Amino acid sequence: MSGVEGRVVAVTGAGGGLGREYALLLARHGARVVVNDLGGARDGTGSGHSAANAVVEEIRVAGGEAVANHDSVADPAGGAQVVADAVEAFGRIDGVVANAGILRDGAFHKMSEADWRAVQDVHVGGAFHVVRAAWPHFREQRHGRVVVATSTSGIYGNFGQANYGTAKGGLIGLIRTLAIEGARYGILANAIAPMAATRMTADIAPPEVLEKLGPAHVAPVVAHLLGDECTDSGEVIVAGGGQVQRVAWFQSKGVTFAEVPTPEQVTDRWAEITDLSGAVPGVNPVG
């Protein structure tokens, strides 16, 4: 096979925004798609079937194959059902795009337990529940693709997004580990940090910036990461507005203390410890 042709991919949160673009492009390139979406508001409240159903209809009208799923991926049974629906409709599951997400922004000193928890549940829990359900299939068939939606907020931090940044950073830890555990089984796990005009960013960036950031720019990158030709795993790719970049970690040469140092000795050598000249890439354990 080549690309995603004939593959079965579940895209969570595919009723709108980026997920919808992913689902449409994947279907156009011959994938059979489970379009999951709870259909709620940006903050995760509410639900409805129309968003996912409309995307399925769009795919079918264009001659593609898709089924809708309306479960919340934050719920373990809901996440498992996404995969069950793929297997029931298409007989297999080859890829998961853990894309569903919500926003509950607020400065850290005002952040409630509920807003912290809800964001972890959808982003981190949602990825765990769906990928965990797909994993035995991936291992069995010795082929699988995981793409999680991370964010520059998770990589670099962002004011007012302690909950969201933590969740998105956590997803990078997830794919780095899945890349290691999946390597023997032909399973690749990568993260996409998109930048796109959707309801999530509608009031965050000015219109002249947003108009250059159509979500369609990101979808081909996700399709590549799901495709048969992809060999990378554990990578973090930033994509938006036509630009596609790899994010990597570097470690300074640092200092090796022959004996346990005093705090003062650490202080004295701090400039050397943190100096990045001569830094080397952090080791990608599957690279």
Please list the active-site residues: 164
Does residue 149 belong to the site contacting ligand NAI (CB under 6 A)? yes
Residue 194 found at the interface with ligand NAI (CB under 6 A): yes
Contact flag: residue 170 with ligand NAI (CB under 6 A): no
- Nearest residue to 70 via CA among 90, 100, 25: 100
Rule CB under 6 A: choose which of 38, 97, 131, 226 binds ligand NAI: 38
For the chain, state the CA radius of gyration.
Answer: 20
Q: Does 42 bind ligand NAI (CB under 6 A)?
A: yes
State whether residue 116 is helix, strand or coil. helix
Other beta carbons within 10 Å of 182: 23
Tokens found for residue 191: 């993260």
Q: Does 237 bind ligand NAI (CB under 6 A)?
A: no
Residue 166: CB minimum distance to ligand NAI, A: 13
**Does residue 125 touch ligand NAI according to CB under 6 A?**
no
Determine the interface stretch with ligand NAI among 135-143, 181-189, 190-198, 259-267 (rule: CB under 6 A).
190-198
The span from the CA of 80 to the CA of 131, in Å, is 9
Q: Does 190 bind ligand NAI (CB under 6 A)?
A: no
The residue within the footprint of ligand NAI, chosen from 64, 95, 101, 234 (CB under 6 A), is 101
Name residues whose C-beta falls within 8 Å of residue 45's C-beta, 6 or more positions apart in sequence.
none
Is 115 a binder of ligand NAI (CB under 6 A)?
Answer: no
CB 94 within 8 A of CB 8: yes
Stretch that binds ligand NAI, among 13-21, 59-67, 175-183, 278-286 (CB under 6 A): 13-21
Nearer to ligand NAI, 19 or 144 (CB): 19
Closest CA to 35 of 64, 4, 8, 68: 68
Q: Please give the structure tokens belonging to residue 119.
A: 């964001």
Amino acid at 261: P
* Residue span binding ligand NAI (CB under 6 A) among the ranges 1-9, 12-20, 53-61, 226-234: 12-20
Q: How many CB atoms lie within 10 A of CB 70?
A: 20
Does position 241 interact with ligand NAI (CB under 6 A)? The reply is no
* Pairwise CA distance, residues 38 & 15, whole Å: 8
- Rounded-to-integer distance, Cα 163 and Cα 12, Å: 20
CB of 174 to ligand NAI, least distance (A): 13
**Least Å distance between CB 230 and ligand NAI?**
19
**4: amino acid identity, one letter:** V
- Applying CB under 6 A, the residues found at the interface with ligand NAI are 12-13, 15-19, 36-40, 42, 44, 51, 72-74, 99-102, 122, 126, 149, 151, 193-196, 198-201
